[in-house]
Chain A
Amino acid sequence: MKSLGNVRRSYAPWEDPEAKPYIRFDKITKRFGDFIAIQDLSLDVYEREFFSLLGPSGCGKTTLLRMLAGFEEPTSGEIYLDGQPLKGVPPYKRPVNMMFQSYALFPHMSVEANVAFGLRQEGMARADIKERVEQMLKLVKLERFAKRKPHQLSGGQRQRVALARSVAKRPKLLLLDEPLGALDKKLREETQFELMDLQQELGLTFIIVTHDQDEAMTMSDRIAVMDAGVVSQIGTPAEVYEAPNSRYVADFIGSVNLFEGTVAGTANGTVRLAGPDGFDIEVADDRDFATGSQVALAIRPEKITLSRHRPESGNAASGEAWEIAYMGDVTNYIVKLDGGKMVRASTLNRQRSVDNPIGYDEQIWISFAPDGGSLLDE
């Protein structure tokens, strides 16, 4: 079986037409004065899904999250949670909890009191609260810090307290607003896996807002890529990476080369592009494009092969090695094609030493397979 990416998934309710969504955004529009933050957005999230809202700042992702938590009301449209409309339900009555970007730990309360806050509010019995708090602190490995105040904790520890506090009430849905944004790179990578484990262990639905594509790719079942108040694409990490549906998505996630061209003809699942940037390209795509229409081929740098001689098959063009950056795990090249276009390519450094590596200004060939990229018509 051929599949995008190299992960086989057992959990994919979005592919099941019978599955009922746990959260449904139904034609949501949100205006702040004249500014339209969200425009006619519809989106389904399923139970136990790890769902990411990914986009640059100001794209409306946080607004969407805050509407779900109840801090903003949609201007029009309706949000359903487990089939129930949420309109008019104040935040303190929604069975949803949120982890704030700033963590929003109550500075005048100990770690323990912070975690217990929601439970006390709920009127849980004292003994049960104690037990639950201990359990939660154990979950985030902060048992020893129960009596500390937030300012006595490191950034990573605060993040865990915020997490423990937001899951203490056992919400079925947890909203996370840039949960790892304030951590440094190394800690962020460690914590990503911890968040995933926690989600599995508690069987929760997670909706996470992030502007970091690596974070979204690592953790999510599905990603919604947002742009200026609308969803550009929803899909698994592999789908949005390998088969972006627009230039915006292709460009936002990872780096990409775009070859603009005109469709010269389609036949047997192959689309021929005439002369984009000086050479002809064949692309494996069974869609039917009208001859003469303008499209672009998006192709990732690692799908491009470099060689000193023209390869026998596949699409190829010649150029010169313009820039070479050795990154350790990979080496990135910028190749200047004969027609003048700059193309990014990267190769994995599988050996410690290479005989006769490509050097600056060397004449080389770039090539890629017909199914190496995807065609974009918008």
Chain B
Amino acid sequence: MSGRWTRFNITSVVLGFAFLYLPIVLLVIFSFNESRLVTVWAGFSTKWYRELFNNQGLINAAWVTLRVAFLSASIATVLGTLAALALVRYTRFNGRTLFTGMVYAPLVMPEVITGLSLLLLFVAIGFDRGFWTVTLAHITFSLCFVAVVVQSRLVNFDMSLEEAAQDLGCPPFQAFYKITLPVILPAVLSGWMLAFTLSLDDLVIASFNSGPGATTLPMKIYSQVRLGVTPEINAVCTILIGIVAIGVLIAAVANKRRAVRRRRDEQTAFDEFA
């Protein structure tokens, strides 16, 4: 779609983005507020950031969260990629409908249900709640997101690439990791990033499945938020937003540069040929 960009179009885009970004921008600004009163500006200060580094509870929670996120994202990426392969390549197997349902349902399942049901599973089998239960829970729901991301790349994957590899003497599994995996790698990596942020972000499922010593950062933030808005929380949030923004920007710039280089290469090929 294209056509003329009318004043109405511009207005709705500008207002839409203002709505999306203003709250975040305000939050970031007030993390640098001198005053403890979050909403009254009293001058620039970084003291709330300094205080963060003395807050051992918060640092521990951050550490737990990062470990859970890293581990669960990595395992979910493997499982999710397999699930995507199963969905795209094997159109006929017993219970495919059930399988498809189980992959898509967690995408929209209310978190309270997922959290509660996993907790009851762990209790029923006598698994002590803690780091590992949170990790298992995160693997389960983020593997479905990875599956969807990888699947959308795999449907466009030209199966004859793998066949060509086999034709040239490659057994099937080798053909998969020498050819298919490198080609779909960008999608697998963005699947991993998505799983990582989902885990980093999750409050509800972690609250149900966490145990002593496994308090995650969102749980910590939540318990403090309930007590009121504080500049420290603003500072923590700003740091998190900063990390994500930098990560996404790097990925976007890398993508953009790859696309530009690719277009230039294709142009060269065309010119030389013509």
A residues apposed to B, CB below 8 Å: 69-71, 90-93, 96-98, 100-102, 104, 106-108, 117-118, 121-122, 148-149, 151-154, 156-157, 165-166, 169
Contacts and interface: CB of A to CB of B under 8 A. Distances in A.
A342 to B, nearest CB: 43
B166 A97 contact: no
**Which of A96, A149, A152, A157 is the most central at the interface, judged by chain B CB atoms within 10 Å of its CB?**
A152
B164 A154 contact: no
B70 to A, nearest CB: 26
A104 B269 contact: no
B168 A157 contact: no
A106 B179 CA distance: 7
Given A90-B166, A154-B272, 19 more contacts: A71-B163, A71-B166, A91-B167, A93-B169, A96-B167, A102-B158, A104-B158, A106-B165, A107-B161, A108-B183, A117-B168, A117-B170, A118-B169, A148-B269, A152-B266, A152-B268, A154-B273, A156-B273, A165-B168
B269 A153 contact: yes
B270 interface: yes
Nearest to A169: B168
B161 A169 contact: no
B161 to A, nearest CB: 5
Contact of B262 (A97, A106, A151): A151
Contacts of B182: 108
A310 B160 CA distance: 59
Nearest to A97: B167
Interface string B145-166: 0000000000000101101111
B265 interface: yes
A122 B171 CA distance: 11
B168 A121 contact: yes
Interface of B: 158, 160-161, 163-172, 175, 179, 182-183, 262, 265-266, 268-270, 272-273
Contacts of A70: 166-167
Contacts of A93: 169
A300 B272 CA distance: 43
Contacts of B168: 92, 97, 117-118, 121, 165, 169
Contact of A102 (B160, B165, B172, B270): B160
Contact of A92 (B167, B262, B265): B167
Contact of B265 (A98, A104, A152): A152
Nearest to A177: B160
13 contacts: A70-B167, A97-B168, A104-B160, A106-B161, A108-B183, A117-B165, A121-B170, A149-B265, A152-B265, A152-B269, A154-B272, A156-B273, A157-B269
Contacts of A165: 164, 168
B171 A98 contact: no
Contacts of B183: 106-108
A92 B170 contact: yes
Contacts of B161: 104, 106-107
Contact of A104 (B163, B169, B172): B163
A320 B131 CA distance: 92
Contacts of A91: 163, 166-167
A102 B160 CA distance: 8
Given A101-B160, A104-B160, A106-B161, A69 B167 contact: yes
Contacts of B175: 92
A90 B158 CA distance: 20
A172 to B, nearest CB: 14
Contact of A98 (B158, B167, B262, B268): B167
Contacts of B158: 102, 104
Contacts of A151: 262, 265-266, 269
Contacts of A107: 161, 183
A154 B270 contact: yes
B210 to A, nearest CB: 41
Contacts of A152: 265-266, 268-269
Contacts of B169: 92-93, 118, 121-122, 169
Contacts of A102: 158, 160
B181 to A, nearest CB: 10
B273 A157 contact: yes
Contacts of B170: 92, 117, 121
B170 to A, nearest CB: 5
B243 to A, nearest CB: 30
Contacts of B165: 106, 117
**Which of B167, B172, B175 is the most central at the interface, judged by chain A CB atoms within 10 Å of its CB?**
B167
A157 B272 CA distance: 11
A90 B172 CA distance: 10
A148 B170 CA distance: 23
Contacts of B167: 69-70, 91-92, 96-98, 166
A108 B158 CA distance: 13
Contacts of B268: 152
B176 to A, nearest CB: 13
Contacts of B179: 106
Give the 4 A-B CB pairs with smallest separation, nearest first.
A118-B168, A154-B273, A121-B169, A104-B164
Nearest to A69: B167
**Which of A71, A104, A117, A122 is the most central at the interface, judged by chain B CB atoms within 10 Å of its CB?**
A104
B166 A100 contact: no
A92 B166 contact: yes
A105 to B, nearest CB: 8
A117 B166 CA distance: 11
Contacts of A108: 182-183
A71 B164 CA distance: 10
**Which of A70, A117, A122, A148 is the most central at the interface, judged by chain B CB atoms within 10 Å of its CB?**
A117
Nearest to A158: B269
B96 to A, nearest CB: 16
**Which of B160, B169, B272 is the most central at the interface, judged by chain A CB atoms within 10 Å of its CB?**
B169
A151 B183 CA distance: 13
